[in-house]
């Protein structure tokens, strides 16, 4: 990931020439390279932050009566004498880097806050879902107060009435308008909520971890219909983003949406479908090969984690579950003794559906003869959480999703250690599988915060994060409508509709011509590279799209460039301002000169000229390979 990016060949002020020529920048850089480029000129990359070893958080991520003890080693900087600027804990480069790792994209205000607070304070603040603020005191210093952060939720779409319809003579969608399937059965309302929350929500880290979890614990609207059920499942992932992985797996196993998606609801106790049992082991917890604590292959080659007989044992152990009560159909429920399809709540056990034979699971865990479905579920969880693979397997996934596609074995081992101990510094419950401690270890590790970026470091910015990153940086807004069936499909990442349980891409997708992996390159090709440029053109030069009359609360998808017009008379200052926000540093010297020259092709005498100068600068900075390769 250290190839040199070519200089940007810039057109003049003609919008048509922008459209025709600039796609080559990303096609060449993003397909043939995986990072690097020229060294940025004039950027101070020396960080004033502490090492990751001292950047720990506080207690648990769910109940924080006070945040003050968490930050004793990193106090909130106060304004200096005479209103002097606050002291800065982090450099611009590292603040932008953390924003790219832990949010849906930097904004100027967010970067300022991270620089003033430092990494550990900001991460702990996000995990607590509370914020420390100060209120004036008439006779003394300001008084610290704890302010709850508003939590993002999925709320749009229809209710569980789709699974209570009992008319034999009328279809559910009769008299419900042209958008019935969209609003009651599809994931489109979740897309609206997802992008609205990602662009404007304050609980950015919780949402990013929620996205990482949904790309591991996959369900898809390709196979499962019922908007309210998909909404329940993805709210559950948000709820457990900083909880415990064992508790999260229990909710996944008992989810009726997952029960339908991977065929283990109402499973046959004597000849069970093995689909869910296999993916529980392979994709959700352990992987296929025995791992060392650092994620490397035990013994240097693949020793299978399990065999087919073990998969069958798990499939039998997880029989005995049906839908939660509440559903109804015109024809009754089947099989006899089961509940009708219904997605509100956890699945419930039916003793007659459960295979009670003795089973041998992994990690030395056994099920005695005569076991019950709830007892078997706990044994399954015991066997997974005791396994040597679960800590490095989950840790590597979170590192790849948040920080870098190719973490070093030492990085994986340090994060796996936090997962196993349930603590990172003062953050965590001390219970194995603590996700708050694990995520903190991912983000505060020396490899994530180092001032020296290794040649193998970084990841391709996924389409989802491209959509949100540009909108957030350029003060945009969206109702999400344009980012699902339009841009999501064009970029092969339509959120909530991965093509299979293996997600949109493989975590081990190889980067051609290297020994590296680049997961997001699995959905990157010449067409999607061109569409990255087309998306920027749509958003910046075509003014996005307006509100649709069919979308509740529609605002369209647009950026607002007016905040940058104060700098339009100085092209260098304008380009540098956008570069420092988008990249955390200046563009490489040759590219910077070329972009400034392109901006100067426009005058600044009219309002239209000034707008076009901002558009030109923003378009070219966000089209640069340095933006698409997050390092």
471 shares its domain with 518: yes
345 pLDDT above the threshold of 50: yes
**pLDDT at position 482 over 70:** yes
Average pLDDT over residues 435-453: 95
- Assess whether 174 and 244 both reside in one domain: yes
Same domain, 234 and 330: yes
Which band of pLDDT confidence, cut at 50, 70 and 90, is reported for residue 134?
confident
Range of the domain at 265: 160-200+217-283+306-385
CA distances from 142 to 1, 67, 132 (A): 48, 16, 12
Among 47-51, 94-98, 123-127, 490-494, name the one with the lowest average pLDDT.
Answer: 47-51
Domain final residue pick, 385, 416, 432: 385
Q: Are residues 596 and 476 in the same domain?
A: yes
Same domain, 270 and 401: no
Q: For the chain, what is the mean pLDDT? A: 88
**Element housing 229 (H / E):** helix 227-239
Q: Is the dihedral of CA 9, 14, 18, 20 positive or negative?
A: negative
569 lies in the same domain as 427: no
At 355-368, the pLDDT tens digits run 999 999 999 999 99
40: pLDDT strictly greater than 60: no
- Boundary of a domain, candidates 385, 407, 424: 385
Same domain, 438 and 524: no
| Residue 235, pLDDT score | 98
Determine the average pLDDT of the residues in 555-572. 97
Of 285 and 450, which is predicted with more confidence? Answer: 285
Per-residue model confidence as pLDDT tens digits over 595-608: 999 999 999 999 99
Check whether 264 has a pLDDT greater than 70: yes
Same domain, 560 and 626: yes
Residue 132 lies in a domain: no
Q: Which of 449, 467, 490 is the last residue of a domain?
A: 449
From residue 443, how far is each of 74, 373, 421, 461 by CA, in Å? 17, 38, 17, 17
Q: Is the pLDDT of residue 50 over 90?
A: no
Q: State pTM to two decimals.
A: 0.88
Same domain, 408 and 375: no
Q: Examine the domain organization and report whether 428 and 573 are in the same domain.
A: no
Q: Residue 210: name the closest of 228, 190, 186 by CA.
A: 190
Is residue 56 a part of any domain in this protein? no
For the cut 60, the answer to whether the pLDDT of residue 12 exceeds it is no
pLDDT bracket for residue 29 (50, 70, 90): very low
pLDDT of residue 247: 98
Both 346 and 423 in a single domain? no
Tally the domains of the chain. Answer: 3
Task: Give me the pLDDT at residue 85, please.
Answer: 55
At 385, the pLDDT band (50, 70, 90 cuts) reads very high
Q: Is the pLDDT of residue 512 over 60?
A: yes
* 5 and 621 Cβ atoms separated by less than 8 Å: no
> Is 37 part of a structural domain of the chain?
yes
CA-CA distance, 235 to 225, in Å (whole number)? 16
Residues 577 and 431 both lie in one domain: no
The answer to whether position 247 is within a domain reads: yes
Separation CA 198–CA 181 (nearest Å): 25
């Amino acid at each position: 990931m250290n190839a040199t990016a070519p200089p940007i060949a810039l057109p003049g002020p003609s919008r048509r020439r922008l459209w025709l020529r600039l796609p080559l920048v990303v096609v060449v850089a993003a397909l043939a390279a995986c990072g690097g480029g020229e060294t940025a000129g004039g950027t101070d990359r020396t960080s004033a932050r502490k090492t990751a070893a001292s950047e720990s958080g506080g207690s648990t991520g769910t109940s924080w009566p006070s945040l003050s003890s968490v930050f004793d080693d990193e106090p909130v900087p106060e304004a200096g004498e005479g209103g002097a600027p606050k002291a800065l804990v982090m450099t611009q480069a590292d603040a932008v880097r953390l924003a790219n790792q832990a949010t849906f994209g930097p904004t100027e205000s967010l970067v300022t806050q991270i620089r003033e607070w430092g990494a550990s304070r900001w991460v702990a603040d996000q995990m607590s879902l509370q914020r420390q603020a100060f209120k004036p005191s008439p006779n003394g210093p300001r008084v610290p107060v704890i302010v709850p952060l508003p939590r993002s939720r999925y709320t749009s779409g229809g209710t569980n009435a789709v699974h209570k319809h009992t008319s034999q003579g009328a279809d559910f969608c009769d008299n419900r308008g042209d958008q019935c399937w969209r609003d009651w059965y599809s994931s489109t309302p979740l897309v609206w909520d997802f992008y609205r929350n990602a662009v404007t929500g304050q609980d950015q880290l919780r949402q990013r971890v929620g996205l990482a979890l949904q790309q591991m614990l996959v369900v898809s609207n390709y196979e499962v219909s019922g908007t309210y059920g998909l909404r329940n499942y993805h709210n559950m992932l948000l709820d457990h983003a900083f909880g415990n992985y064992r508790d999260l797996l229990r909710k996944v196993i008992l989810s009726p949406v997952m029960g339908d998606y991977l065929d283990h609801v109402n499973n046959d106790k004597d000849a069970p479908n093995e689909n869910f049992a296999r993916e529980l082991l392979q994709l959700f917890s352990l992987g296929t090969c025995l791992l060392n604590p650092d994620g490397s292959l035990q013994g240097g080659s693949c020793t299978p984690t399990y065999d087919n007989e073990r998969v069958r044992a798990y499939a039998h152990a997880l029989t005995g579950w049906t839908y939660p009560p509440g559903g109804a159909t015109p024809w009754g429920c089947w099989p006899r003794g089961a509940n009708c399809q219904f997605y509100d709540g956890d699945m419930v056990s039916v003793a007659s559906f459960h295979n009670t034979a003795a089973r041998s699971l992994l990690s030395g865990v056994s099920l005695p003869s005569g076991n019950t479905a709830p007892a078997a579920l706990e044994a399954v969880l015991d066997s997974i959480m005791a396994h040597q693979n679960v800590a490095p397997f989950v840790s590597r996934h979170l590192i790849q999703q948040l920080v870098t596609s190719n973490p070093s074995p030492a990085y994986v081992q340090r994060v796996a250690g936090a997962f196993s101990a349930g603590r990172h510094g003062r953050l965590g419950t001390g219970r194995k599988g603590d996700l708050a401690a694990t995520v903190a270890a991912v983000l505060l590790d020396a490899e994530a915060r180092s001032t020296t970026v290794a040649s193998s470091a970084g990841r391709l910015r996924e389409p989802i994060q491209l959509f949100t990153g540009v909108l957030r940086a350029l003060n945009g807004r969206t109702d999400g409508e344009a980012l699902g069936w339009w841009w999501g499909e064009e970029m092969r990442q339509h959120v909530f509709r991965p093509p299979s349980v293996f997600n949109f891409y493989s975590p081990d997708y190889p980067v051609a011509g290297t020994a590296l992996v680049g997961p997001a390159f699995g959905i990157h090709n010449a067409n999607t590279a061109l569409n990255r440029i087309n998306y920027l053109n749509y958003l910046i030069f075509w003014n996005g799209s307006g509100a649709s009359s069919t979308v509740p609360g529609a605002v369209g998808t647009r950026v607002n460039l007016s905040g940058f017009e104060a700098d339009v008379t100085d092209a260098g200052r304008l380009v540098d301002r956008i570069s420092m926000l988008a990249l955390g540093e200046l563009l490489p010297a040759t590219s910077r000169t070329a972009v400034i020259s392109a901006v100067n092709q426009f005058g600044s005498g009219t309002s239209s000229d000034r707008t076009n100068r901002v558009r030109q600068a923003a378009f070219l900075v966000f089209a640069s390979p340095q933006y698409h390769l997050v390092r």
